[in-house]
């Protein structure tokens, strides 16, 4: 694809329509710059709520917005559904997988991250992780499918394995998955089966380290473990996973037969570093200066989960708010053809949800837990959702679900 | 799977959780009968609105309800996610594809219908038909995907083919698909692309017969063709399709390059007839007496699209209301262990939708078209949807979409 427009205007190419890339493109709207945003998917995904799709509470479209719709009024921004495959730093072009290339004056890498199975890529097929909409559908179909299979069997041992759900990783993803699976079994599916009681389901959250939510203060970790136990979740700490296969998991000397294993344990930066000569970071991230410029490159920037950005000597965490602030900062800076000023992350607080009425919130020395934290969490997430309609629909569903324990998206497909 | 319960109670097995099977199971709720409903999917699909999923207006879960949730309070009804593969009429068991079998005293076949490509099964992969949720997702991804591809190409000929949408079949499905694709292109996607105007899209509705909506009165057919033309749809009557392949369709002497072809032309009964010795009906339907009992069988009934049921000497049409009335009648009759009384279909009127503000409604000599018919159509369909939440969500989306032309489910996956 050749770009037929006159090349007089500065060209900014952004790879990735996640929180970082989208914020960057929005901040560039209306500037005297030609912007092209490339993403291999047509939608921006509101990932913090993906676990609700995995557990059948929301539909995929409730938490996804078409990127080109979000940017429709930004007339200087072109959105392309395409997969990037490399960068020619000499020619200053982004290479696309169909052989086309896009010339750039400035390139912004915002490709995000993916789940990491460390040295065990073979675990992936047995233990899906909620990262994309396809992943969430897979997990949803497995969760609901094992209950269906349990209704078909008369063998109590087989039924026991079918009704055992193991969640690996005690970070926010693992905590919210374990909590909502327990709620699904105890409340939503109550009375739906004739040959067993879905409340018999065992939900086990496994964490290799000594506490849940390692990034939060210790008292919130303890509260989280308690709250999960009250929901019926078995929490196992200091418990590394030795092996995952089609019939269950191996934890130390214990063999745990389980039809469903869900992975939420490790993150690794997505493609990007390899395109520009690699990185020495263990997590595959691209080191950037405080200007978000990639160290050792000219005109290339990296933001969000794919960037290794130090502040006060420590890497910024892989959070939506970091990516969003970086994208907004960089977009504003790139509006003018001048050196980019340094970026400074301002923490807005961290929150994680455990289940109905239970969440934690931490902001500097201030912390909150329980019902009020849950309400705060719900309000924050509804208002962060992009686009008015999605907010309304999600709110209607949440209120309804709050009143009834019902879930709106119990589809196996 | 062996049934461990005492066999003293009469056992009714229903195959299929569509409008017929579900109505039958509901009518049997609380009766002194053990009911098992078998479906290969976990959800009841509200098929009349499936075209809205295909065209990105609604999410799959908006029009699907988990069968076991709908029947949760019917304690005598067991729901099994399983695929039926045959009937042993001697042993009186329904055979399942995993080798299990279910004993019955009475068997109700409610397996529905599928799209039929007549003598051209090879057309199926080029021209999907909206029948299941997977089909609707495929069509949605193709529709949205061709617009994305058109933004990537500079070749005007290729773009022309990408922006040509051919709908085959002038029945209700074809009419609503053509109308909504035209609306999608002209209104929803407006301003979303930089290299072409989506209103350039050509939508062509092809019908082999002399008029659209053949089952409706002639003046409504003429109105429908006019309303579609006003939306920008090209209507071609008396125009049989010779050939469909990956690059377009052949209509008589005309070759029409088109990246998207959608099939809505023919229906054939689903599996069922073969299980009990076949049928001589061209459409694969199972002939039933006025009691809905299968002719020549003992204790087997057929309802809905899979049944060939004559009334006043003519077969009842394959409509949701026919299936629903048959299911309800049969369920009520099977509550008691007595001969089934004859079924009588009462027509509630036929309706088809063309687009925003345009629909037709026909009931005996009474007919209606335009805005009022559209409003009536919308009200009927919202209230027919099963489950309160789904109604709310769909209504919120419809009102929002009505005001903005926006679509909530523009997902390619």
Mean pLDDT of A246-251: 94
Mean per-residue pLDDT, A187-191:
91
- Interface subset of B 236-275, CB within 8 angstroms of A: none
Which H or E element spans position B353?
strand B350-355
B277 and B241 co-located in one domain? no
Q: How many other CB atoms are found less than 10 A from the CB of residue B237?
A: 15
φ, ψ of residue A295 to 5 degrees: the values are: -60, 125
B-chain residues within 8 Å CB-CB of A80? 151-152
Instruction: For residue range B92-143, list pLDDT tens digits in order.
Output: 999 999 899 999 999 999 999 999 898 899 999 999 999 999 999 999 999 9
Distance CA B178, CA B204 (A): 7
Rg (CA), chain B: 22
Q: Are residues A58 and A146 in the same domain?
A: no
> Chain B, 73-132: which have a CB under 8 Å from a chain A CB?
73, 75, 78-82, 100
What count of Cα atoms within 13 Å lies in the side-chain half-sphere of residue B300? Answer: 27
The pTM is what?
Answer: 0.89
Mutate to test the interface with B, among A131, A392, A403, A408 (most CBs of B within 10 A): A408
- Is the model's pLDDT at A350 over the cut of 80? yes
Question: Residues B37-70: pLDDT tens digits?
Answer: 999 999 999 888 899 889 888 888 888 888 998 8
**Mean per-residue pLDDT for B398-411?**
69
Give the DSSP letter of residue B341. P
Number of domains in chain A: 2
pLDDT at A308: 97
Average confidence score pLDDT of chain A: 91
**Do B256 and B136 fall within a single domain?**
yes
Residue-level length of chain A = 413
| CA A105/CA A12 separation, integer angstroms | 6
Write the pLDDT tens digit of every residue in B305-332.
999 999 999 999 999 999 999 999 999 9
At B34 the pLDDT is 97
Same domain, B105 and B128: no
Q: What CATH number is associated with residue A160? A: 3.50.50.100
pLDDT over 90 (residue A59): no
Residue B348 falls inside a structural domain:
no
User: Average pLDDT in the A141-158 region?
Assistant: 94
Q: Among B265, B284, B316, identify where a domain stops.
A: B265
Question: Per residue in B16-28, pLDDT tens?
Answer: 999 999 999 999 9
Task: Determine, for residues B80 and A152 on separate chains, whether the beta-carbon distance falls below 8 Å.
Answer: yes
* Stretch B159-187: mean pLDDT: 95
The mean pLDDT of A54-66, rounded to a whole number, is 86
How does residue A247 score in pLDDT terms, banded at 50, 70 and 90? very high
pLDDT at B203 > cutoff 90:
yes
Q: Is A151 within 8 Å of chain B by CB? A: yes
The pLDDT value recorded for residue B25 is 97
Co-location of A244 and A319 in the same domain: no
Q: Which residue has the higher pLDDT, B38 or B377?
A: B38
With pLDDT > 70 as the criterion, what percentage of chain B qualifies?
92
Rounded mean pLDDT of B158-177? 96
What confidence tens digit (pLDDT) does each residue in A265-297 have? 888 999 999 999 999 899 999 999 999 999 999
The confidence score (pLDDT) of residue A368 equals 94
Rounded to an integer, what distance in angstroms lies between the CA atom of residue A293 and that of residue B255?
Answer: 53
In a domain, B343, yes or no: no
**Residues B184 and B282 both lie in one domain:** no
Residue A381: inside a domain: no
**Catalytic one of A83, A90, A148, A176:** A176
In chain A, pLDDT over 70 holds for what percent of residues? 92
Which DSSP category does A294 fall into?
B
What's the confidence (pLDDT) of residue A141? 93
Domain boundary among A236, A265, A294: A265
Q: With contact defined as beta carbons under 8 Å apart, do A153 and A162 qualify? A: yes
Residue A189 belongs to domain spanning: 121-265
- Within a domain: B328: yes
A78, part of any domain: yes
H or E element that contains B372: helix B371-384
To the nearest whole Å, the CA of B314 is away from the closest chain A CA by: 37
Q: If you average pLDDT over residues A201-227, what whole number do you get?
A: 96
- Residue A207: is its pLDDT beyond 80? yes
**A277-281: long-range contacts, CB 8 A cutoff, minimum separation 24:** A279/A308, A281/A308
C-alpha distance from B12 to closest chain A C-alpha (Å): 16
B389:A409 CB<8 A: no
Q: What angle do CA B242, B246, B251 make, to 5 degrees?
A: 25
Q: How far apart are CA A413 and CA B175, in angstroms?
A: 27
pLDDT band at A387 (very low <50, low <70, confident <90, very high): low
Q: What are phi and psi of A348, to 5 degrees?
A: -100, 5
Percent of chain A with pLDDT over 90: 77
Residues of B in Cβ contact (< 8 Å) with A1:
152-154
> Per-residue pLDDT averaged across B365-373, rounded?
92
Nearest CA in chain A to B64: A411
Is A167 found in the same domain as A96? no
Minimal-distance CA residue of chain B relative to A102: B152
Q: Provide φ and ψ at A255, rounded to 5°.
A: -100, 125
> Are B154 and B249 part of one and the same domain?
yes
% pLDDT > 90, chain B:
77
* Enzyme catalytic residues of B: 176
Per-residue pLDDT at B145 exceeds 80: yes
* Mean pLDDT, range A341-357, rounded to an integer: 92
Task: Write b or e for each residue in B78-108: b if 16 or more Cβ atoms lie within 10 A of its Cβ, otherwise e.
Answer: bbbbbebeebebeebbbbbeeebbbbbbbbb
Q: Which of A144, A145, A393 sits opposite B408 (nearest CB)?
A: A393
What per-residue confidence (pLDDT) applies to A62? 82
Q: CATH no. for residue B65?
A: 3.50.50.60
DSSP-derived 3-state class of residue B393: helix
Nearest chain A Cα to B154, which residue? A1
pLDDT tens-digit readout, B220-246: 999 999 999 999 999 999 999 999 999
Instruction: Note whether A126 and A221 are same-domain residues.
Output: yes
Tell me, yes or no, whether B391 lies in a domain.
no
B61, B153, B187: best to mutate for the A interface, most A CBs within 10 A:
B61
Which one of A265, A291, A311 terminates a domain? A265
Please report the pLDDT score of residue B74 as a whole number. Answer: 94
Helices (H), A236-361: 320-334
Q: Does A61 sit within 8 Å of B410, measured CB to CB? A: yes
So what's the pLDDT on residue B136?
Answer: 93
* Mean pLDDT in residue range A202-230: 96
Residue A410 is predicted with a pLDDT of 78
Q: Is the pLDDT of residue A198 over 60?
A: yes
Is the same domain home to A164 and A204? yes
Whether B36 is in a domain gets the answer yes
Q: How far apart are CA A237 and CA A6, in angstroms?
A: 60
CA distance B174 to B259: 17
Structure tokens at B108: 């109700």
The reported pLDDT for the residue numbered A393 is 67
Does residue A67 register a pLDDT over 90?
A: yes
Shortest CA gap A292–chain B (Å)? 29
Cβ of residue A395 closer than 8 Å to a chain B Cβ: no
Mean pLDDT of chain B: 91
- Is it the case that residue A398 has pLDDT exceeding 90? no
Of A69, A148, A413, the CB nearest to B410: A69
B388: chain A residues, CB-CB within 8 Å:
400
Do A214 and A285 belong to one domain?
no
Is A206 found in the same domain as A274? no
| Mean pLDDT comparison of A114-123, A277-286, A306-315, highest-scoring range | A306-315
Give CA–CA dist B339/B391, Å, rounded.
Answer: 38
Whether B380 maps to a domain, the answer reads: no
CB A370 within 8 A of CB A355: no
Q: Do A60 and B154 touch (CB under 8 A)?
A: no
């Amino acid at each position: 694809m050749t770009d037929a427009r006159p090349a007089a205007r500065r060209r900014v190419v952004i790879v990735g329509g996640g929180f970082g890339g989208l914020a960057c493109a929005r901040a560039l709207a209306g500037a005297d710059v030609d912007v092209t945003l490339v993403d291999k998917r047509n939608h921006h995904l509101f990932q913090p709520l993906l676990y609700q799709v995995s557990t059948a509470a929301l539909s995929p479209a409730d938490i996804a917005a078409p990127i080109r719709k979000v940017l429709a009024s930004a007339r200087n921004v072109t959105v392309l559904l395409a997969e990037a495959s490399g960068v020619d730093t000499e020619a200053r072009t982004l290479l696309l997988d169909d052989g086309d290339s896009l010339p750039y004056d400035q390139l912004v890498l915002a490709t995000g991250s993916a789940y990491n199975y460390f040295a065990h890529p073979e675990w992936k097929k047995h233990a899906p992780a909620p990262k994309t909409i396809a992943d969430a559908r897979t997990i949803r179909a497995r969760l609901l499918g094992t209950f269906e299979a349990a209704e078909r069997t008369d063998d109590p041992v087989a039924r026991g394995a079918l009704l055992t759900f193991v969640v690996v990783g005690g970070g926010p993803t693992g905590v919210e998955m374990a909590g909502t699976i327990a709620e699904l079994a105890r409340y939503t599916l109550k009375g739906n089966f004739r040959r067993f009681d879905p409340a018999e389901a065992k939900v086990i959250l496994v964490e290799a380290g000594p506490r849940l939510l390692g990034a939060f203060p210790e008292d919130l970790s303890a509260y989280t473990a308690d709250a999960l136990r009250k929901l019926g979740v078995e929490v196992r700490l200091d418990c590394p996973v030795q092996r995952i296969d089609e019939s269950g998991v191996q934890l130390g000397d214990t063999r745990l037969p389980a039809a469903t294993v869900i992975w939420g344990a490790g993150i690794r930066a997505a493609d990007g570093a390899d395109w520009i000569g690699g990185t020495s970071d263990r997590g595959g991230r691209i080191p950037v200066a405080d200007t978000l410029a990639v160290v050792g490159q000219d005109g290339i920037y990296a933001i969000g989960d794919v960037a290794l950005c130090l502040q006060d000597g420590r890497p910024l965490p892989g959070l939506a708010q970091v990516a969003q602030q970086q994208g907004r900062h960089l977009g504003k800076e790139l509006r003018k053809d001048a050196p980019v000023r340094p970026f400074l992350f301002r923490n807005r607080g961290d929150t994680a949800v455990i289940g109905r009425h239970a969440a934690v919130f931490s902001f500097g020395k201030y912390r909150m837990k329980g019902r009020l934290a849950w309400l705060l969490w719900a309000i924050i997430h509804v208002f962060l959702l992009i686009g008015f309609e999605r907010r309304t629909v999600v709110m209607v569903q949440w209120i309804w679900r709050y009143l009834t324990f019902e879930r709106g998206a119990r589809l196996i497909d």
